[in-house]
Structure 1
Amino acid sequence: MTAPHGGAPDQGAPRSGAPASTQRVFPCTNCGATLEFAPGTESLRCPYCGSAQHIEIAADRVVREHAWDEFVRLPRKPVATLAAYVFTCPGCGAVTESDAISDRCQFCGAPVVASVDGGEMVVPEAVLPFSVDRPRVREALQGWVKSRWFAPNALKKVTTAESVRSTYLPHWTYDANTSSHYTGERGEYYYETETYTVRDSDGQERTETRQVRKTRWWPASGHVSRDFDDVLVRGTSKVPSDHLDALEPWPLPESKPYDPDYLAGHQTLRYDVEPEEGMGVARGRMASVIEQDCRRDIGGDEQRVHSVNTSYSRVMFKLMLLPVWVCVYLYAGRSFQVLINGRTAEVAGQRPYSKVKIALAVIAALLVVTAVVLFFVLRR
């Protein structure tokens, strides 16, 4: 469970930040406009004059993981009770409030990024920067639309989204060393010969035998251990979990130490799933893996697991930001949301279905089943 980028896990408490009026600014030294992070690069780029500024990360900056036992003893307020961030647009001077760590000014579109260096909120330790740009998003959306089964034919004409927004979504990662004692049963197959009577087509009876498989159960118990690293749990409830889960796997080893430069020009949601809730989800996922370990340890042909008693040690966690393109397209007067992995271009989302195509498929399946049944009936 070593921290990425060569850093040792931090045994202290995580840094925390509360909504504040301070913010980061990214002025272009060439024309004075506001720089934005360019996906697929390590640079901030001016959208007007095109000049670039390389993002410099100090050599001693690493992604750190924090001790869970230390964290739970800290005084802390729920995120839902904290105030919004206050932004002053560097472009037009407008003052706005938002729950997002970074966003765009709603009046002129200039990037705004909050400073999260102190307070009562957990601060991100890592960010996985965008590498998929807008042209590739368009290609991924088109390919996804064309590959949908039972979709209306007109859906293939959807080539662009009505809205496309690059958004960093908060996620928790959890590490733990686990030691589990289990009790259960090991099932082993054996076969018995069974005699039965059949009647021929001419009415004559005859006796036949067959081998019947049965299971003999034996008590089993034992011990298994496993080290979990970066069990990923979403930190926001604002995005459908099934679509977000479908974007996995994420190349987490490619993450960078948190730097606000990567957020410039992109929206970043503040977490609303508390770390304690995320820990509960992570333990549930660990439990599923541990049960499979128990079954492998029991062996045999079948397994029954009656109880698993797990102890956790060296529990660590961190908050990180993952890149997602949130797209909305219109079809038949309805809006459909699609998520695109900002690192791998994996796509998941909502889509319409053609009732006519589904009905035809059902009718075709029924015709095939009917034909097979008639074939065997007539053959007999």
Structure 2
Amino acid sequence: MTDSPTVPPVPPVPLSAVCPSCGAQTAYSPGTTVLRCGSCGAEQQIDAEHLTIKEHSYDEWQAKHGQSQVAALTAAVELKCRNCGAQTESTDVAGACGFCGGALVATQAPEGVVQPEAVVPFKVDRNAARAHFQEWVGSRRFAPNSLKKVGSTEGLKGTYIPHWTFDAQTGTDYEGKRGDYYYVTRTRTVSDGKGGTRTETYQQRHTRWSDRSGHVSRAFDDVLIVASHHVEREKLEKMGPWQLTEARPYQDEYVTGYSALRYDVTPAAGAEEARSVMREVIQEDVEHDIGGDEQRVNDMDVTYAQAMFKLVLMPLWIASYVHAGKTFQVLVNANTGKVVGDRPYSPIKIALAVTAALVVIGAIVAIVLLNRS
């Protein structure tokens, strides 16, 4: 008896970006698995039960596409509006149609460009993002009182930011030194507080060093690397931790109604950064393996195997607000609600705080001197 041939699953038919009930625009509804009409509220269920998140072999991909990355990332791709059918070219993955405001989604990708394999869908909606912003504004220390009167953000925009995740099995041969403390009893002459002296003993610490070598292993899963320079890197790195357990297989429906940036950090550059992150963890493993009270790591020979990677889109609300005639940017993690942004400071409040601190320090010094006298 022979086994029946495996039948590949049939991909789901993309849902319409136009409401089948009233013809208005639909968009992904944060925190759900549906497209929702912005006019009548009708919903379309996103079917993803049979889909899985796949990863790519880094070595195989690099051998095939690594040399063409710079040219591929600057190549425009065709985006088609899922409402009016208008076509345009862009380096983004998704956006808004300039004719009807409908959802623009890439219809293809240049050869060698990695397609998103996963997406962490929006969980925080627009109203909740504004609420998180207001809470953030109200909690800023040394902020001008007028900042708390800022009513809302301007141009609140939902955007997916690309990130790489890297996996690897690592094995590391190392050489180093182990330091163990030991103590020697010493004597010294000190003042007795009455004009004379006395002898006291104390323990002087020394370190005994010995050579060490060995091997440590560690498996890394989903080391996350920002894959875009379009948003300030320092702010993005503060947006975590992202809830990667909520990632779902990529489907166009999740970016409907939002923009999505294409990565401009190549897989090779991302892998180099990921390995730097891995080495920091490996060094901690080596120091733990060496043991003792102190450790010196002289050399680490790290071998990376079963290296896998994928592209994940992370949800972000990008907003701006105006205060005292100046525009400030703020980011809201649409997965967790965390807020990171620019803010003004009040020179008067800072000056008052410094003055108060100096007064307290002066009072303490005066009390100490008075007690001594």
Q: Which amino acid aligns with 1:358?
A: I
The one-letter code matched in structure 2 to 1:130 is F
* Contact 2:171-2:304 at 8 Å conserved across structures: yes
Output the TM-score relative to the length of structure 1.
0.88
Give 1:113 shift: 1.3
- Asked if structure 2 preserves the Cα contact closer than 8 Å seen for 1:326 and 1:337, the reply is yes
TM-superposition CA deviations, 1:43-63 (whole Å, max 9, x none): 11111222110011251x210
Q: Distance in 1 between matches of 2:125 and 2:31?
A: 7
Q: In the aligned structure 1, how far is the partner of 2:79 from the partner of 2:246?
A: 30
Q: 1:253 to 1:91 in 2, by over 3 A?
A: closer
2: distance between equivalents of 1:220 and 1:371?
A: 53
Map 1:1-380 to 2 at 5 A.
26-59=17-50, 61-75=51-65, 76-78=68-70, 82-89=74-81, 95-116=87-108, 119-380=111-372
For each residue in 1:338-366, what CA deviation from the matched residue of structure 2 results, as whole angstroms up to 9, or x when unmatched? 11111111111211122222222222233
CA contact (8 A) 1:181 1:308 kept: yes
CA deviation vs aligned residue, 1:139-170 (integer Å, no higher than 9, x gap) = 11111111112222211112310121111110
Return the alpha-carbon distance in structure 2 between the equivalents of residues 378 and 266 of structure 1. 67
- SS in structure 2 opposite 1:74? helix
Partner secondary structure for residue 348 of structure 1: strand
Matches of 2:71 and 2:347, distance apart in 1: 44
Deviation of 1:97 after TM superposition, in Å, equals 3.5
Q: Separation in 2 of the partners of 1:74 and 1:34?
A: 40
Report the 3-state secondary structure (helix = DSSP H, G, I; strand = E; otherwise coil) of the residue aligned with 1:344.
coil
**1:224, distance to aligned residue in structure 2 (A):** 0.6
- The secondary structure found in structure 1 opposite 2:75 is coil
- Deviation larger for 336-345 or 203-212: 203-212
CA contact 1:182–1:308 (8 Å) conserved in 2: yes
Deviating above 6 A after TM superposition, structure 1's stretches of 4 or more consecutive aligned residues are none
Whether the 8 Å CA contact 1:327–1:337 is kept in 2: the answer is yes
CA contact (8 A) 2:26 2:38 kept: yes
Distance change in 2, residues 1:270/1:306 (3 Å): same
In structure 2, give the amino acid aligned to 1:226: R
> For residues 373 and 208 of structure 1, do their structure 2 counterparts lie closer, same or farther at Cα, with a shift above 3 Å needed?
farther
Q: Could you tell me whether the CA contact under 8 Å between 1:105 and 1:112 is conserved in 2? A: yes
Task: Report how many aligned residue pairs link the two structures.
Answer: 357
Separation in 2 of the partners of 1:308 and 1:88?
A: 50
Contact 1:84–1:98 (CA<8 Å) still a contact in 2? yes
Amino acid at match of 1:70: E
TM-score norm. by structure 2 comes to 0.89
Task: Compare 111-120 and 266-275 and name the one that shifted more.
Answer: 111-120
The letter for the 2-side match of 1:191 is: Y
Deviation of 1:69 after TM superposition, in Å, equals 1.2
Shift of 1:290: 0.2
Query: How far apart are residue 283 of structure 1 and its match?
Result: 0.3
CA distance in structure 1 between the partners assigned to 2:209 and 2:89 by the alignment: 64
Determine helix, strand or coil for the equivalent of 2:276: helix
Tell me, in whole angstroms, the C-alpha distance in 1 between the residues paired with 2:306 and 2:73.
30
Q: Residues 287 and 313 of structure 1: is their aligned pair in 2 closer, same or farther, counting only changes over 3 Å?
A: same
Q: Which segment is superposed worse, 138-147 or 191-200?
A: 191-200
Q: After superposing the two structures, state which structure 1 stretch, 158-167 or 98-107, moved more.
A: 98-107
Deviation larger for 190-199 or 133-142 = 190-199
| Farther off after superposition, 87-96 or 153-162 | 87-96
Output the CA distance in 2 between the equivalents of 1:85 and 1:29.
28
Q: Following the alignment from structure 1 to structure 2, what is the Cα–Cα distance between the partners of residues 122 and 346?
A: 28
Farther-moved stretch of structure 1 (131-140 vs 197-206):
197-206
Measure, in 1, the Cα distance between the counterparts of 2:82 and 2:312: 27
* Equivalent pair of 2:30/2:122 in contact (CA under 8 Å): yes
Q: Which runs of 5+ in 1 are unaligned?
A: 1-22
The answer to whether the 8 A contact 1:25-1:113 is kept is no
Question: What is the root-mean-square deviation of aligned Cα atoms in Å?
Answer: 2.1
What amino acid is the match of 2:191? R
Q: How far apart are 1:92 and its partner, in Å?
A: 5.9
Q: Verify the 8 A CA contact 2:72 2:110 in the aligned structure 1.
A: no
Which residue number corresponds to residue 10 of structure 2?
A: none
| Alpha carbons of structure 1 residues 312 and 296: separation in structure 2 relative to 1, 3 Å | same
